[in-house]
Chains A and B, each alone.
Chain A
Amino acid sequence: MWKLLRFLREYKKESILAPLFKCLEAAFELFVPLVVAAIIDRGIPTQNKGYIIRMCLLMALLAAVGLTNTLFAQYFAAKAATGFSAKLRRALMAHIQSMTYSDLDTLGTSSLITRMTSDVNQVQTGVNLALRLALRSPIIVFGAMIMAFTVDAKAALVFVGVIPLLAAVVFGVMLVTIPMYRRVQSRLDSVTDITRDNLDGVRAIRAFRREAAETAAFREENEKLAAMQERVGRFAALMNPGTYILVNGAVILLLWIGAVRVDAGVLTQGAVVALYNYMSQILVELIKLANLIITLNKTAACGNRIQAVFESGGAPTETAAAPAVDPAQRGAVTFSHVGFTYQNAGAPSLTDISFSAAPGEVIGIIGGTGAGKSTLINLLPRFYEPTEGSITVDGVPAADFPRDDLRRRIGIVPQKAVLFQGTIRENLQWGKADADDEALWDALKAAQAVDIVQAKPGGLDEPVQEGGRNFSGGQKQRLTVARALVRRPEFLILDDSASALDYATDAALRQALKTLPDRPTVFIVSQRTASIAHADKILVLDDGHLAGIGTHDALLQSCPVYQEIYASQHQGEVQANG
């Protein structure tokens, strides 16, 4: 948490001035009871109207000076807090950009988003309040006590006694209730979970006629929540009466001591009034302080979550210069004894994978879910680094390329088609920033996506909504293919990309890829033998191992896993072939 304070560095001035001005305001506030005492002791007995008027004007002046100070304080605090959170968000965003796939896996997308939005907001609020109140409240509490000492040391001992007691009650109640509130929250979470679960599974629940049982389960959980809330409420309800008794008990004591001291001529009547006023100031501030601590407690939790993001990874060191590539080797890939184990995973996802692809070849990758197909192709652009063995690209070890340079050679069509807010043109230009319209249309044509763009009134300038919501799954899929083709890649990776395409489009796309002018090396990941049967080489993956490699016909002869997959998709024919 504290490490996050580095983002305040640019707002050092503001972060110091805000509490400083707050302290000044508090100091002026502490003078008021003394002025009142002066009016009572000197103004009223001597019937000096001029003195009284001057004293009251002084009070107004103190208030005005106090206000001015606060305005400065609020401004500086707001500036520091909002600046802090802007810097923090910027740094978080930049950090996320530099995260490896492994880091993204560990933290999870939704958790990253929460941290960047609501957690940062909470921290902003916390910083703002802390700058304003963290010093003010203690200053008023202890200031009131010190002022009481200047009035009368003996009576001030009441303050010395009651402040720790008040603090004990306020913080004691907090200490007991904070963990209880946490339990309330987890009960509330489980009530929320049951509700959500029921909505998501409405069909299954009704099909199995579980409505009554579900309602009963909910009631039970809901009752537990209410009971827990009531229990916390019972403790929290002690705070007000407890502090009320303490403060007024102290007032009774003060008045009694005051009575004795005034009778002895040590104190004046006005001084007793001042002591009484100081006592009233303390309570208000202690409660504010308690609330501040609750807020800061939440802030610290959010801050720690944010700090955890900064502490997880970030891209490892980068090679600076692009290596020289032999033109004859452009588009060649070799994997030699490559193994890969995901972070924190027990078993390897890929074991001892070796193969090579010549420039312009089409490589099919097939296997069941969890066989390691996506993992394998994720190693090529170095989204993950192999944990064993080595990979060469264009005849050069992949690790020798700067990542950006390597990825520029590769066009990827991900499994899940995602577009980004902007226009179609902007989305396609992700492939190549300076691609002209002709290049874009060429790519669209190969990707069978021309009709999609032509059907839109805006053409290439048609807006794309967040996440590409205004396009269907198949349309998005074809546009993502075009996006990958725009950069005229040396390698094209289709990660099960045809799943949203119908058979005819899929076939046309395959045909178009064959006739691309610069013949990229193509990797096609699929679960369907039909999609990869035409490949020059097919890698059959089974549970992370290479179960077979060869052409469709060869594999049908030699590879049992491939035979099984094929059979599961072509029952009739296999039987017919005997």
Chain B
Amino acid sequence: MAEKAQAGTLRRVLRYVKRFRLWLVLTLLLAVVTVALTLYIPILVGRALDAIAGAGNVDFGAVSRILFTVGVSVAVTALAQWVMSLLTNRITYRVVEQIRDQAFARLEVLPVSYLDSHPTGEIVSRMISDTDQFADGLLMGFTQLFTGVLTILGTLLFMLTIHPGITVVVIVLTPLSLFAASFIAKRTYALFQQQAQTRAAQTALINETVSGQRIVQAFSQEQAVLRKFDACNDALQEASLRATFYSSLTNPVTRFINALVYAAVGLTGALAAISGRITVGGLSCFLSYANQYTKPFNEISGVMTELQNALACADRVFQLIEEPAQSPDPEGACVLESAEGAIRFDDVSFSYVPERPLITHCNIDVQPGQRVAIVGPTGCGKTTLINLLMRFYDVSGGAILAEGTDIRQITRESLRAQIGMVLQDTWLRHATVRENIRMGRPDADDEAVIAAAKAAHAHSFIRRLPQGYDTVISDKSGSLSQGQRQLLCIARVMLCLPPVLILDEATSSIDTRTELKIQSAFQQMMQGRTSFIVAHRLSTVQEADLILVMKDGHIIEQGSHAALLEHGGFYAHLYQSQFAG
């Protein structure tokens, strides 16, 4: 990511932290206190050691005074540390909460086209794991970075006040461990990449094989599959060994260099002590500084990469939050109340991708109460008509009129309230049967719910579910068959029964006898309502008032069943081929 973009992301992060700015300042102050006192303690210990010079030469008064100061400092440091963690926790989790809330709120207003073109997994990972990484890296990392830098500066300062010469030794030698660490990190990076690649290849193979396991067995390919697996398993083992080994070198090598620094400080310190320029306590203090001086350096290099990563994650979340929402309802958009059900497509054109026009100059005129069936081969644009009518997508040319008003001039809310939809994709939410049926009318009482379920032929199987209407539906349990899910979706619409219906018909995954039930539920619903039926089987469309035959985005024929058969065109051909067998 470019520097500039990073700065932009950082600014946006700061906007979220703003409401916690007092706490942030307090956190930083506490960090200063913690670092200063933590560094002060070795000095105090050094002084105490100096007061314990030898047999009969111990200044108990001084020792007790110093130890008392140590005690107080420790208590204050511990308290400061604790409060600091509480504050960072709060800031972190609440900022994350806010970001997630905003991201989710944005999901609800993003154009359906955005959601259709981005895999669910990707959006979920932005909202969940990217936000998590951002929190860990940026907010926790920030305090770590701050205390790290403070510790380094403070240590330098304290060391200089005790003995500049030895300080120089520390300053000159410690970068060695940083060089070593970054040297190893660079080598390891390439090895990790290699490991990731071989791992990805293996995962793909595992995925494919295990998902197709039944077929592997049906064709007795077990041994062949294992041979293929072995080859990439060996490659992974090798890549993994190298990556694991080299990456595990960082700690020992930096520890080794730190030990050398320690020895060098011991040497110069002891020599200085001989000439009386430093006390034994001072030497001990230096040694413990030498021990902890390098630690923040190592941490900082880790924190820096984490910060970069966190910024990248934050950027992905912000992109989602800032993704343009669907076009808002225009000023003074009209509210469609109790529609009659007159729908007109007036020279409608539409395409998902500008280069590939899908629907061109489409004209349909539907009178209130008419039944319209849409038929045609897969991919001909049947579902697209529904997408347009519900305003999941907006037309790119022409207009769709409901009760004579362009639907873009009607609030989405009121338009959709007039249309009931049963889709082929029988989505039910993770909630009880009752809550699912109530989705379109949350205030409906139990009797209404049961009546709707009965009308949808769903009551009898719901009653047989373990907890009846309170059974929780989940994808994982898979307790409902596809047909039963479809019936619940119908019950959902039954409960609110708007004047216009869209029915995307049951698919081949439902057997025809269940489908008969669904059909009769559909029939009942359609009484006196304008309805659009996307039909997959011609047997179900014959009673429609108007049949639209679609092919490649065009409506190539329209009329009643009898008229179309007479016409002897595409529809007639389709019809005959289906029933010839």
Contacts and interface: CB of A to CB of B under 8 A. Distances in A.
Interface in B494-552: 508-516, 537, 539, 542
7 cross-chain pairs, A with B, having the tightest CB-CB distances, nearest first: A368-B511, A265-B55, A63-B259, A237-B85, A233-B89, A241-B78, A86-B237
Interface in B434-473: 439-440, 442
B270 A43 contact: yes
A213 interface: yes
B51 interface: yes
Contacts of A204: 421, 423, 427, 439, 489
A40 B283 contact: yes
A414 B216 CA distance: 11
Contacts of A369: 481-483, 509-511, 514
Interface stretch (A143-151, A328-336, A386-394, A527-535): A527-535
Interface of B: 41, 45, 48-49, 51-58, 60, 63-64, 67, 70-71, 74-75, 77-79, 81-82, 85-86, 89-90, 93-94, 96-97, 100-101, 104-105, 107-109, 112, 115, 120, 123-124, 127-128, 199, 202-222, 224-226, 229-230, 233-234, 236-237, 240-241, 244-245, 248-249, 252-253, 255-256, 259-260, 262-264, 266-267, 270-271, 273-274, 280, 283-284, 287-288, 291, 377, 390, 392, 412-413, 416-417, 419-421, 423, 425, 427-430, 439-440, 442, 481-483, 489, 492, 508-516, 537, 539, 542, 577-581
A408 B229 CA distance: 23
B101 A230 contact: no
Contacts of B482: 369
Given A56-B263, A63-B263, A248-B41, A263 B220 contact: no
Contacts of A25: 252
Given A67-B253, A211-B108, A418 B211 contact: yes
B124 A196 contact: yes
Nearest to A503: B577
Nearest to A572: B542
A569 B539 contact: yes
A43 B260 CA distance: 19
A471 interface: no
A154 interface: no
A372 interface: no
A377 to B, nearest CB: 11
A233 B128 CA distance: 19
B58 A263 contact: yes
Interface in A312-349: none
B504 to A, nearest CB: 10
A438 interface: no
A145 B29 CA distance: 37
B267 A248 contact: no
B317 to A, nearest CB: 12
Contacts of B220: 403-404, 407-408
A104 interface: yes
Which interface residue of B67, B236, B280, B492 has the most chain A CB atoms within 10 A?
B280
Contacts of A425: none
A263 B56 contact: yes
B226 to A, nearest CB: 6
A244 B77 contact: yes
Given A53-B267, A222-B101, A272 B70 contact: no
Contact of A207 (B77, B283, B421, B510): B421
B218 A414 contact: yes
Nearest to B218: A412
A259 B63 contact: yes
Interface in A218-245: 218-219, 222-223, 225-226, 229-230, 233-234, 236-238, 240-242, 244-245
Interface residues of A, number: 159
Contacts of A572: 539, 542
B226 A97 contact: yes
A410 B240 CA distance: 41
A104 B222 CA distance: 15
Nearest to B41: A248
Contact of A82 (B237, B273, B420): B237
A92 to B, nearest CB: 9
Contact of B86 (A66, A223, A237): A237
B423 A36 contact: no
Given A56-B270, A60-B263, A244 B78 contact: yes
A150 B339 CA distance: 94
Contacts of A571: 539, 542
Contacts of B263: 56-57, 59-60, 63
A124 to B, nearest CB: 7
B11 to A, nearest CB: 24
Nearest to B417: A209
Contacts of A256: 63-64, 67
Contacts of A410: 218
Interface stretch (A68-76, A174-182, A444-452, A454-462): A68-76
A128 interface: yes
A398 to B, nearest CB: 15
Contacts of A43: 270, 274
Contacts of A272: 49, 52
Given A71-B249, A97-B225, A369-B482, A421 B204 contact: yes
22 contacts: A56-B270, A60-B260, A66-B252, A70-B255, A86-B233, A97-B226, A113-B203, A191-B100, A203-B112, A204-B439, A206-B412, A215-B105, A226-B93, A237-B85, A238-B82, A276-B49, A280-B291, A414-B218, A418-B212, A420-B209, A504-B577, A571-B539
Given A67-B255, A209-B416, 16 more contacts: A63-B262, A78-B244, A109-B211, A197-B429, A203-B390, A208-B440, A214-B108, A233-B90, A248-B70, A252-B71, A256-B64, A273-B280, A466-B204, A503-B581, A565-B512, A571-B539
Contacts of B71: 249, 252
Contacts of B96: 226
A497 to B, nearest CB: 12
B222 A203 contact: no
A302 interface: no
Contacts of A276: 45, 49, 284
Contact of A116 (B206, B413, B439): B206
A237 B89 contact: yes
A255 B253 contact: no
B215 A418 contact: yes
Contacts of A242: 78
A521 interface: no
B82 A269 contact: no
A49 B259 CA distance: 20
B383 to A, nearest CB: 10
Contacts of B41: 248
B55 A255 contact: no
B89 A251 contact: no
Interface in A137-193: 188, 191-193
Contacts of B203: 113, 117
Contact of B427 (A200, A219, A236): A200
B245 A78 contact: yes
B273 A101 contact: no
B86 A234 contact: yes
A215 B108 contact: yes
Contacts of B267: 52-53, 56
A269 B430 CA distance: 70
Contacts of B86: 233-234, 237
B67 A255 contact: yes
A94 interface: yes
Nearest to A373: B511
A128 B247 CA distance: 12
Contacts of A219: 101, 104
Contacts of A223: 97
A244 B74 CA distance: 8
A74 B249 contact: yes
A255 B48 contact: yes
A59 B266 CA distance: 9
A407 B219 contact: yes
Contacts of B413: 209
